[in-house]
Structure 1
């Protein structure tokens, strides 16, 4: 399993899943290859997500809001892990994704739904990204190459319960 291919799914694929994809691609340094998609993509990446990634020094090249349809069919990349990052996506019927992958849910508050002045919205994106980063660091600490599917599923589900960006790595 090298690189470990992870798909982050959300409804709009404009914020949480994009933050997760870009951050894992940066932190995973070739050990992981991350993608993101949405069940109802907005068609554009939220500008606050771009702002947050840029502030964190994470490349934003090639980020786009796209449909999960891209990950079904013969041309789809093989996936090892599929993670839903919003409650809406977890309750929606998923597409038929062929392959031998582990599925988990990492619910995250939606920073794109925050109302207020630009500083308040930016703070919501910063908080969401901090939580995503803590969870991804916990993922990076896992020996994904040697875990059984059941062990990986249990570990991923546990990571999804981390709710504090200050929490220690799992």
Structure 2
């Protein structure tokens, strides 16, 4: 059976798309080839790295990647899933090609304000929402 190709996309590829990529790889490695990318690749969010580690997933060596690089390489995907929140949906990158497009809106951990512990707690919530969304999607 051929694996389906999935691309998770958000603005910076520093948080939500990285979490989604990691969880789908963990939950269905035999069914999907998974990548993630952003419109303006930034730095990996250290709080996201921490909350993923709590969930038993190490993404500390991941690099942020550009949707334009993937496009220039001629990559094609069966599914292109945007994970930007609704306030950023105008900036949420589109990836050309024939793949099925899905939008799963999640708040951006980079936009969270407050003390470190508050940001950590909010990011855990997003992590758990992404994990649950992937579980539901796989059913």
TM-score by length of 2: 0.88
* CA positional deviation for 1:76: 3.8
Deviations 1:112-140 (A, max 9, x none): 21111111111111000110011100111
Deviation, 1:18, is: 0.8
1:1-170 equivalences in 2 (<5 Å): 2-42=2-42, 44-60=43-59, 62-73=61-72, 75-86=73-84, 87=86, 90-92=89-91, 94=93, 97-98=96-97, 100-141=98-139
Change (3 A) 1:115 1:139: same
User: CA RMSD for the aligned pairs?
Assistant: 2.0
Secondary structure of the 1:48 match is helix
Rg comparison, structure with higher value: 1
Change (3 A) 1:121 1:139: same
Q: Give the TM-score normalised by structure 1.
A: 0.73
Q: Give the distance between the partners of 1:36 and 1:89, measured in 2 at CA.
A: 17
Q: Distance in 1 between matches of 2:134 and 2:28?
A: 9
C-alpha distance in 1, partners of 2:95/2:44?
Answer: 25
Distance in 2 between the 1:124 and 1:35 partners? 24
Q: 1:112 to 1:96 in 2, by over 3 A?
A: closer
Q: CA deviation at 1:70?
A: 2.2
Kindly tell me the number of residue pairs found equivalent between the two proteins.
138
Relative contact order (C-alpha < 8 Å, sep 6+): which is higher?
Answer: 2
**Cα gap change, 1:70 to 1:62, in 2 (>3 Å):** farther
Structure 1: stretches of 5+ with no match in the other structure: 142-170
C-alpha distance in 1, partners of 2:17/2:9?
6
Say which SS state the counterpart of residue 57 (structure 2) adopts. Answer: coil
> Is 1:84–1:104's contact at 8 Å kept on the other side of the alignment?
yes
* CA distance in 1 between partners of 2:2 and 2:123 (Å): 31
